[in-house]
A and B are shown apart, each in its own frame.
Chain A
Amino acid sequence: MGSDATPTGITEESLTVEQAIANLQQTEDPSSRYYAAWWIGRFRVREPIAIDALIQALNDETDRSPDGGYPLRRNAARALGKVGDRQSVPPLAACLACADYYVREAAAQSLEELGDASCAAALAALLDGGMEDTELRPGTPHLRQPYDAVIEALGTLGVKDAIHVIQPFVEHPVPRIRYAAARAMYQLTQESQYGDRLVQALGETDLQLRRTALMDLGATGYVPAAGAIAQTHAENSLKLIALKGLLESHLASRDPITTEKFELPASATHIMELMDSLL
């Protein structure tokens, strides 16, 4: 969500592709470089020269935040996920060892988007000791590792070898992490018990948790959840996004839908009926 927003403090200016690339390549003005990295991701500029510049930026040492973070690296890592070139998989996997939590999180999310499972071992390594890690890092709002992003990536990438590593996390004390684990376990095993855990989470009293569960269900394609999603106390916009995700994961193997002879399964028209009622 946050990665799609304009970086704070910078008004959205329009760049040309050439300007954005030039801004990203220079090192004198960190803020225009930071903005250019976001822009290239936002508009999915797929030119090799832009991708090279983003990969370069993953090693930047000049742009540092007061907490010791690497803002440019974060933006570059997010942008590489959106641009979608697989040559960025090894450098992003290397970012999983970066000292900045948010760089590791962005790298895990982008590796998920890139759909290349060659980074599986590097991702799974971040889960070591995660079940004992339940206290926020001093002075930060997060744990030692971005467990939810890592687990979600392993699930989306279909890394079945990670099942035994992920499984314990369905009992993690942090709800977001539990949901990520249930979502990944459903994706990896298709066992309804994991989908049902997420359906249960739709009844949480905390709206933020219900929203997270909605998004997680959207990623699963767990069709029996459709009715519960439509009934959840949350914004219709989010329920529509969740149902869209559900339908798309469900239909993905049957796509492309380009012919009128394509037969929509009853499960698909059921989901669309629910969506129609939420508009």
Chain B
Amino acid sequence: MTATIQTLIQAVEAADSKPRMVEAVRHLASTQSPDSIPTLIQVLGYNNPGAAVAAVDGLVRLGDVAVRPLLDELDGYNYGARAWAIRALSEIAHPDGLEILLAAAQSDFALSVRRAAARGLGRLRWQVLPTDEREAAQEKALETLLTASQDMEWVVRYAAIVGLQALAGAIASGRDEWRSQIRTCFEELINTDDTLVVRSRALWGLQCLKSAVWSTQALKSVE
């Protein structure tokens, strides 16, 4: 660990006010050094939203290298930290986060966590997985997102639509039945949802699906 990182970590530990903490976390995060990961993860539990946002940003920029540490400590987190960690995993979009995101999208009691997880499920980087695992993982995501599209909170249904639209673009060409399930889901929301913004997002999603050129999309997901 370089002396600079050490100093920046100490600055986070020594910060004695909320704004100073935010400042210190921003500095540490800007190094994009893997050595900063344990401290950034700790900050998620400090009940300081500004600092947590800066820490999540830092972890997301670090990307895949932060996934394992985030998953390893998930059980030990307090509730607030867990919510931030799920947000980071959802942004990093590595398929190792799949199981956590599935559980969070379905049953977390905070709607902001269900919302972030639903969005994250649609945009996982499936190409990281071998083909045989990929389809099983996508099927789980599909099922969970279809359930989330019936959530009682409008913003979770909205996020589920965004997730499903992204997932539709990643599904292999042989899986047309999955794509038609997504279309049917959008059509139902357009006709029955009581929230205007959900209906309009479903409509936009449906229009995007129809105008997308499937052959190109299929090629992309095989790459």
> Interface stretch among B63-71, B74-82, B133-141, B192-200?
B192-200
Most A C-beta atoms less than 10 A away, residue of B199, B203, B204: B203
**Which of A53-61, A91-99, A121-129, A256-264 lines the interface with chain B?**
A256-264
Segment among B26-34, B35-43, B155-163 that sits at the interface with chain A: B155-163
A230 within 8 A of B: no
Task: Say yes or no: B154 contacts A258, CB within 8 Å.
Answer: no
Task: Tell me if B116 and A279 are in contact (CB < 8 A).
Answer: yes
Give the chain A neighbours of B204 by CB distance below 8 A: 264, 268-269, 272
Does A252 count as interface, using CB distance less than 8 angstroms? Answer: yes
A252, A257, A279: the one within 8 Å of B115 (CB): A279
A114 to B206 alpha-carbon distance, docked (Å): 34
Is the C-beta of B201 less than 8 angstroms from some C-beta in chain A?
Answer: yes
Contact between A275 and B203 (Cβ–Cβ < 8 Å)?
A: no
Residue B106, interface by CB 8 Å: no
Q: Which residues of A have CB within 8 Å of B199?
A: 257-258
Q: For the complex, what is the distance from the CA of A110 to the CA of B155, rounded to whole Å?
A: 25
Interface flags, B162-192, vs A, CB<8A=1, else 0: 1000000000000000000000000100110
Q: Is B217 an interface residue (CB 8 A)?
A: no
Interface residues of B in 100-152 (CB under 8 A from A): 111-112, 115-116, 118-119
- The residue in chain B whose Cβ has the minimal distance to the Cβ of A258 is B191
Contact residues, A230-273 vs B (CB, 8 A): 235-237, 240-241, 244, 247-248, 251-252, 255, 257-258, 260, 262, 264, 268-269, 272
**Smallest beta-carbon distance A275→chain B, Å:** 7
Q: How many residues of B contact A (CB 8 A)?
A: 25
- Contact flag A264-B207 (CB < 8 Å), given A236-B112, A272-B201: yes
The proximity string for B residues 193-223 relative to A, scoring 1 for CB distances below 8 Å and 0 otherwise, is 0001101110110110010000000000000
**Most B CB within 10 A of own CB, among A240, A264, A279:** A279
- Chain A residue nearest to B120 in the complex (CB): A279
> When chains A and B are docked, how far (Å) is the Cα of A3 from the Cα of B115?
24
> In the complex the two chains form, is A276's CB within 8 Å of B162's CB?
yes
Q: How far is the CB of A66 from chain B (nearest CB, A)?
A: 34
Contact check, B197 vs A248: say whether CB atoms are below 8 A apart.
yes
Question: Known contacts A275-B158, A279-B162: does B206 contact A257 (CB below 8 Å)?
Answer: no
Question: Cβ of A264 and Cβ of B155 under 8 Å apart?
Answer: no
> Which residues on B sit within 8 Å (CB–CB) of A247?
196-197, 200
Query: Contacts A240-B155, A260-B203, A262-B203; is A248 near B196 (CB within 8 Å)?
Result: yes
User: Distance (Å) between the CB of A75 and the closest chain B CB?
Assistant: 23
Contact B115 A264 (CB under 8 A): no
Interface residues of A (CB under 8 A from B): 235-237, 240-241, 244, 247-248, 251-252, 255, 257-258, 260, 262, 264, 268-269, 272, 275-276, 279
Starting from the known contacts A251-B196, A260-B190, A275-B158, 13 additional A-B residue pairs (CB-CB under 8 Å) come to A251-B200, A255-B196, A257-B196, A257-B199, A260-B210, A264-B207, A268-B200, A275-B197, A276-B162, A279-B115, A279-B118, A279-B119, A279-B162
Q: Mind listing 10 A-B residue pairs with CB under 8 Å? A: A236-B112, A237-B155, A240-B155, A247-B197, A248-B196, A257-B196, A258-B190, A275-B201, A276-B119, A279-B116
Q: Which 8 A-B pairs have the closest CB atoms?
A: A279-B119, A244-B197, A279-B159, A257-B199, A248-B196, A276-B162, A247-B197, A257-B200
